[in-house]
Amino acid sequence: MEIIDSHCHLDDFFYEGKIEEVLANAEHASVTKMVAVGTHPKDWEFYAEFVRNHGHISYTVGLHPLVAKKEKELDQLSIFLEKEIKPVAIGEIGLDYHRLPHEQQAKDGVIEFQKLIFAKQLELAKANDLPVVIHSRQAFDDTFDILINSDIRGDRILFHCYGYGVPEMEKLKSFGTFVSFAGTLTFRKEQVEPLKVANPDKLLIETDCPYLTPEPHRPKPNEPAFIRATARFAAKTLDMSENDFCNLTYKNTEKFFALK
């Protein structure tokens, strides 16, 4: 019963000297593939080298909306698209309005900068025929509008760590967008109904480790092996066997990222 962690952050485990233990735990849990997601130039460089010796791990590059500071940081993205081992997607990118300044002018400036960086990365993804991994928090309408204007096909878009409601899920479903659920599904009841109406053929699962640890592993730091708890909860919610759910999300993840 193999499973893919479609969104994880592994660099902290490496720098803390825990990466071999974490990878061994994942192997023991039959997590046979992972997608390590980039958020800034430092981890892009790390992942581009790390995956050379870990063939079951793929990586992405993207400027996270809360990390991007200067527009010129985008220039470095193109370098990674020329690497021998190329990223499988642009992401995670998007909009995050959860922590905006209180002063209106400053707030407007942050929002406009996030939109600029987001739109430019979508242009890069389209030009290089890469899918995009979306981070969207308290910003659904603006995120969706920018995606529509980018003219990127819905099936090339993944909303990671889904955190909106049923109406937003229905909108993404109509657009053909992929969605992924993380460990929050196991302790936030408001995510259950959106999961039930998601398109099974566009459904993925993730850890977003070392964050969002699922029950019953909280308050430990999250790791890929813990994706089993989320899969078990999701399968029960959807009245599926755990094996069928893992097979479904495995196939969907391979399809979205074009994994070998």
**Spatial contact of 224 and 196, defined as CB atoms under 8 Å apart:** no
pTM higher than 0.85, yes or no?
Answer: yes
pLDDT digits over 17-59, tens only?
A: 999 999 999 999 999 999 999 999 999 999 999 999 999 999 9
What was the pLDDT predicted at 125? 96
- Given a cut of 90, whether residue 188 has pLDDT beyond it is yes
- 84 vs 6 pLDDT, higher one: 6
Question: Is residue 110 classed as helix, strand or coil in its secondary structure?
Answer: helix
Single out the residue of 126, 121, 99, 120 nearest to residue 110, CA to CA.
Answer: 99
Q: What is the pLDDT of residues 214-234, one digit of tens each?
A: 999 999 999 999 999 999 999
Q: Spell out the long-range contacts of 66-69 with Cβ–Cβ below 8 A and sequence spacing 24 or more.
A: 66/96, 66/99, 67/39, 67/40, 68/40, 68/113, 68/114, 68/117
Total domains present in the chain: 1
Distances (CA, A) of 29 to 2, 184, 204, 230: 8, 20, 17, 13
**What's the CA gap between 225 and 222, in Å, rounded?**
8
Give the Cα separation of 119 and 258 in Å (integer). 23
Interatomic CA distance for residues 203 and 194, integer angstroms: 11
Residue 64, C-beta contacts closer than 8 angstroms, at least 6 positions apart: 39, 40, 92, 93, 96, 135
CATH of the domain at 37: 3.20.20.140
* Domain containing residue 212: 3-257
- Using an 8 Å Cβ cutoff, are 223 and 22 in contact? yes
pLDDT tops 90 at residue 105: no
